[in-house]
Every structure is written in C-alpha cells, then in structure tokens.
Amino acid sequence: VLLSSGARWALMTELRGAQEPPLKTLLAQLDPVDLILIEGYKTDKHPKIETYRQTTKGTLLAPSDPSIIGVAADCAVSVSQPLFDLDDTTKIADFILAQVGL
C-alpha cells in the first residue's frame, strides 16, 4: 500500500509470513528525523515510557527495566521514574521533548 499527499508519502510493506524485522533494521529505513516514537518493541533497550492501566492488572516493567524513563498510568503506582497521568498528554509530550533536547 502506498499513501501519498502533496506533503508526504508512505509505503507499507507486507511481511507475507516473514519474521518481523528488528527495530534497528526498520529505523534504518527512515530519513534523518528529529524524533521517532515507537509503540511495541518493549524488550529493546531504547528509552521508553511505560503505559499502565489498572484494569489490565499487569505487572509493571519499570522497576526492573532501566530503559524505562517514565511511567504513564491511570492509577497510583510506586516507581522511581517520573510518573504521569495517562491522560495528561501535554506533560508527557513536554517530558519527551525535554529528554531529546527539542
């Protein structure tokens, strides 16, 4: 699938049963950019903000993963990283921009 507009274009590639490429391989496909936001790849060692929802009752990764630099949650959690309200997108965005120097 190819998407195009007057300002940009994007090409989607089907894996057709092939294994998902490593994140490093996918990032090499991008033009030089100032910021890349990644969803998934939670076991890679890039800086991450963990999201936590009380209804999932999952285990927080932040206490044991030094690559997690912040947590966004919809409930009170005990972490040493900066904690954000999951719905406070302005504070989360400001944190990300400060982390990357933008």
* SS3 (DSSP) at 25: helix
Please state, in angstroms and rounded to a whole number, the distance separating the CA atoms of residues 56 and 84: 18
Q: Is 22 helix (H, G, I), strand (E, B) or coil?
A: coil
* Each residue's pLDDT tens digit, 11-28: 899 999 999 999 999 999
pLDDT in tens, 42-63: 999 999 999 999 999 899 999 9
Q: Which residues of 35-72 are buried (b: 16+ CB within 10 A; e: fewer)?
A: eeeeeeeeeeeeebbbebeeeeeeebbbeeeeebbbbb
Tokens at 4, concatenated: 């195009």
Segment 87-99, tens digit of pLDDT: 999 999 999 999 9
Q: Which residues lie closer than 8 Å to 62 by C-beta, 6 or more apart? A: 50, 68, 71, 79, 80, 81
**Residue 84: other Cβ atoms inside 10 A:** 19
